[in-house]
């Protein structure tokens, strides 16, 4: 054959492939999630999330010290507690494990660490819902108020990034107004902008002990049949003062990430969620995939779709094993 174009020319060896690769995964833009619980000297591996632990502040501090040496500088903290009530009081009080952890981490590691914290009520409400319930319905506006107080308490403790994952309407604006009013002008808001109601959150709900006791989250998280609606959420969060906008989950939602890329100039984050992580771990356990290659493939695909920041439970494994350099 006499062919003018032969796309395979560019694929002929690793040097031509390197020269023409369109996407590079940057490990400096990955964020490792952690679960912080009450108590002392607690470090329990989470059922369904191999290699990820629920830790008390003292133990977490040691883990993060060693993770820092590996090169993990960006972290996201999730709280776990048994202290739950109707108004999610423990989300914002002194004893909240995330607030305690942030104070300790800032004291020990200062600005070597960029600390993000989840802003949501589901770990703190007795119903397990992300907002507060009144007469069996979620009270959106009251929830936004309580979330704003939680964000303020986190900012006061030294948190660099507050990350509302609750999906209440108007909460980004409410949080931004509260932060501004209290002079926390530099606290970033990483909004869970398009957070879908997803079966990929299963292992996380074990981890955070945050599954709703009754009902589901379809009244506030997005319906996976919807794509345009994500643009409505994007416009709102941008207008309300989000600094970073997130799509969650990642792998089954690459179209949404790509839409974000075309419709905003803000940094886009994607959450490579617990079920996506554990799916890889299970394939690997059954000898059906190479973990190093599959992890890099997944994270590169998320990057290719348009995310510049990825929250992923794989980060420690990547750095420990140098998978990104292979």
Q: List residues with catalytic annotation.
A: 195, 248
The count of other CB atoms within 10 Å of the CB of residue 293 is: 11
CB of 208 to ligand PBG, least distance (A): 7
Among 25, 75, 273, 294, binds ligand PBG (CB under 6 A): 273
Residues whose CB is less than 8 angstroms from the CB of residue 66 and which lie 6 or more positions away in sequence, other chains included: none
Nearer to ligand PBG, 90 or 165 (CB): 165
Residue 120, interface with Zn ion (CB under 5 A)?
yes
Could you tell me the two tokens for 116?
Answer: 């993000």
Q: Minimum distance from CB of 139 to ligand PBG (Å)?
A: 17
Q: Nearest distance from residue 295's CB to ligand PBG, in Å?
A: 15
From Zn ion, ligand PBG, none, interface partner of 160 (C-beta below 5 to 8 A by class): none
Cβ–Cβ under 8 Å, residues 112 and 125: no
Q: Is 55 exposed, middle or buried (0-12, 13-18, 19+ CB in 10 A)?
A: buried
118 contact, one of Zn ion, ligand PBG, none, CB 5-8 Å limit per kind: ligand PBG
**Nearest 5°: phi and psi at 140?**
-55, -50
Please state, in angstroms and rounded to a whole number, the distance separating the CA atoms of residues 281 and 295.
10
Q: Are 195 and 223 in contact (CB under 8 A)?
A: no
Which lies closer to Zn ion via its Cβ, residue 73 or residue 139? Answer: 139
Shortest CB 71 distance to Zn ion, Å: 29
Copy the structure tokens of residue 98.
């995330």
Query: Tokens at residue 320, please?
Result: 């420990």
Cβ closest to ligand PBG, residue 238 vs residue 276? 276
Q: Which of 102, 130, 154, 230 binds Zn ion (CB under 5 A)?
A: 130
Burial class for 308, CB neighbours closer than 10 Å (0-12, 13-18, 19+):
middle
What tokens does 184 get? Answer: 């926390």
From the list ligand PBG, Zn ion, none, pick the one residue 260 interacts with, judged by a Cβ distance below 5 to 8 Å according to partner type: none
Q: Could you tell me which stretch among 94-102, 115-123, 147-155, 261-269 binds ligand PBG (CB under 6 A)? A: 115-123
Neighbour tally for 50: CB within 10 Å:
15
When asked if residue 122 is in the footprint of Zn ion (CB under 5 A), the reply is yes
- By CB under 6 A, tell whether 122 contacts ligand PBG: yes
Smallest distance, Å, CB 122 to Zn ion? 3
- Judged by CB under 5 A, the number of residues near Zn ion is 3
- Site membership for ligand PBG, residue 130 (CB under 6 A): yes
Least distance (Å) between residue 76 CB and ligand PBG: 9
Angstrom CA distances, 129 to 64, 107, 168, 246, 319, stand at 29, 32, 11, 20, 35
- Give the three-state DSSP class for 188: strand
Residue 70: alpha-carbon gap to chain centroid: 20
Q: How far is CA 188 from the centre of its chain?
A: 14
CB under 5 to 8 A by kind: which of ligand PBG, Zn ion, none does 143 bind?
none
Closer residue to Zn ion, CB minimum distance, 141 or 290: 141
Contact region with ligand PBG (CB under 6 A), list: 8-16, 35-43, 116-124, 285-293: 116-124
* Residues at the site binding ligand PBG, with contacts judged by CB under 6 A: 118, 120, 122, 130, 165-166, 201, 204-205, 217, 273-274
* Residues at the site binding Zn ion, with contacts judged by CB under 5 A: 120, 122, 130
């Amino acid at each position: 054959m006499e062919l003018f174009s032969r796309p395979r020319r560019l694929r002929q060896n690793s040097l031509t492939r390197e020269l023409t690769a369109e996407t590079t995964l940057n490990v400096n833009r990955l964020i490792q999630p952690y679960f912080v619980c009450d108590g002392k000297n607690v470090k329990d591996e989470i059922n369904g999330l191999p290699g990820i632990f629920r830790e008390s502040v003292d133990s977490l501090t040691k883990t993060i010290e060693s993770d820092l040496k590996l090169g993990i500088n960006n972290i996201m903290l999730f709280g776990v507690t048994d202290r739950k009530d109707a108004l999610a009081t423990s989300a914002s009080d002194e004893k909240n494990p995330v607030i305690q952890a942030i104070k300790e981490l800032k004291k020990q590691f200062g600005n070597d660490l960029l600390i993000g914290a989840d802003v949501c009520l589901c770990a703190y409400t007795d119903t397990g819902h992300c907002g507060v319930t009144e007469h069996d319905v979620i009270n959106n506006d009251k929830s936004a108020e309580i979330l704003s107080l939680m964000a303020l308490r986190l900012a006061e403790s030294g948190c660099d990034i507050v990350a509302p994952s609750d999906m209440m309407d108007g909460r980004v604006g409410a949080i931004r107004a509260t932060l501004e009013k209290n002079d926390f002008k530099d606290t970033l808001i990483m909004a869970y902008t398009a957070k879908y109601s997803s079966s990929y959150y299963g292992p996380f709900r074990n981890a955070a002990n945050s599954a709703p006791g009754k009902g589901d989250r379809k009244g506030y998280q997005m319906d996976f049949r919807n794509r345009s609606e994500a643009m409505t959420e994007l416009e709102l969060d941008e207008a309300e003062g989000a600094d970073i906008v997130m799509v969650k989950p990642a792998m089954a939602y690459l179209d949404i990430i790509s839409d974000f890329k075309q419709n905003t100039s803000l940094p886009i984050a994607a959450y490579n969620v617990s079920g996506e992580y554990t799916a890889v771990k299970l394939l690997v356990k059954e000898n059906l995939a190479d973990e190093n290659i599959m992890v890099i493939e997944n994270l590169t695909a998320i990057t290719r779709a348009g995310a510049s920041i990825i929250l992923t439970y794989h980060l420690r494994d990547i750095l420990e094993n140098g998978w990104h350099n292979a």
